[in-house]
A and B are shown apart, each in its own frame.
Chain A
Amino acid sequence: KAGVTQTPRYLIKTRGQQVTLSCSPISGHRSVSWYQQTPGQGLQFLFEYFSETQRNKGNFPGRFSGRQFSNSRSEMNVSTLELGDSALYLCASSHRPGQGATEAFFGQGTRLTVV
């Protein structure tokens, strides 16, 4: 069974540009969540999608957005990139959201560097 696939693995962008990251969840999983990991702030929740609907959103500016497609694949977009957006972006998929103690399976992440 394939795991969570994130593409690309590495990205270098310039300030002011925008970027789109992709996540393919485990087959059969309908919930996809995104997290940002930085040395200073640790792991922070960005948003969660289930059945193409955003169900929860973290405390990030509107430059961060996402969407989920009918096949459960998800993308996140960051517009007007800032140096502080440099981070490891992790995607997680789960099978039964909202039903307690359903573990999330993580991809290897996309390392975004903004220069």
Chain B
Amino acid sequence: AQSVTQLDSHVSVSEGTPVLLRCNYSSSYSPSLFWYVQHPNKGLQLLLKYTSAATLVKGINGFEAEFKKSETSFHLTKPSAHMSDAAEYFCVVSAPLGSYKLIFGSGTRLLVRP
């Protein structure tokens, strides 16, 4: 079975400092992994996806994530936080081929202090 654990429910950073949102996954096969962001009262927007082509994945708005199989991790990082980054972030793993089901982590709320 597939599952995702987001290790922090809340992360608070100052504007201009690095962001680290942690995610561990469990999968019985080679997973597809995603990070989505949700701003208040909005739907979900894809930040980036891991497809096994490269372990370091670059996404939109300066975010990137590194897939580490040995650690079963897919942490999301950004070198310098911006106020507009304040939102909830979801780490997601996809179900096996043949059905398109996304399994979401519980979410990490990012607060950016001025």
Known: A90-B44, A107-B43. A101 touches B102 (CB 8 A): no
Known: A42-B106, A43-B90, A106-B44. A55 touches B49 (CB 8 A): no
A98 proximity list for chain B (CB < 8 A) = 97-100
Contact count band on B: 20 to 34
Cα–Cα, bound, A73→B69 (Å): 38
Cα–Cα, bound, A109→B50 (Å): 25
Contact count band on A: 20 to 34
Are A101 and B94 closer than 8 Å at their CB atoms?
A: yes
Of B49, B98, B99, B103, which is within 8 A of A101 by CB? B49
Cα–Cα, bound, A65→B90 (Å): 26
A92 proximity list for chain B (CB < 8 A) = 44, 102
Within 8 A of B (CB), among A46-67: 48, 50, 55-56, 58
Are B44 and A56 closer than 8 Å at their CB atoms?
A: no
For the complex formed, measure the closest distance between the CB of A105 and the CB atoms of chain B, giving whole angstroms: 7
Cα–Cα, bound, A97→B43 (Å): 20
Query: Does B46 belong to the interface (CB within 8 Å)?
Result: yes
Known: A43-B90, A101-B32, A101-B51. A31 touches B43 (CB 8 A): no
Query: Does A70 belong to the interface (CB within 8 Å)?
Result: no
Known: A42-B107, A43-B90. A104 touches B102 (CB 8 A): yes
Are B50 and A55 closer than 8 Å at their CB atoms?
A: no
Within 8 A of A (CB), among B79-98: 90, 94-95, 97-98
Are A100 and B51 closer than 8 Å at their CB atoms?
A: yes
Of B32, B42, B101, B105, which is within 8 A of A100 by CB? B32
Instruction: Please encode chain B, from 11 to 44, with 1 for each CB lying within 8 Å of some chain A CB and 0 for all others.
Output: 0000000000000000000001010100000111
Cα–Cα, bound, A45→B103 (Å): 7
Quick one: closest A residue to B6, CB to CB?
Answer: A42
Q: Which 3 A-B pairs have the closest CB atoms?
A: A97-B100, A101-B51, A101-B32
| Other A-B pairs beyond A35-B104, A48-B100, A100-B97, 10, CB < 8 Å | A42-B107, A43-B107, A97-B99, A98-B98, A98-B99, A98-B100, A101-B50, A103-B49, A106-B43, A109-B43
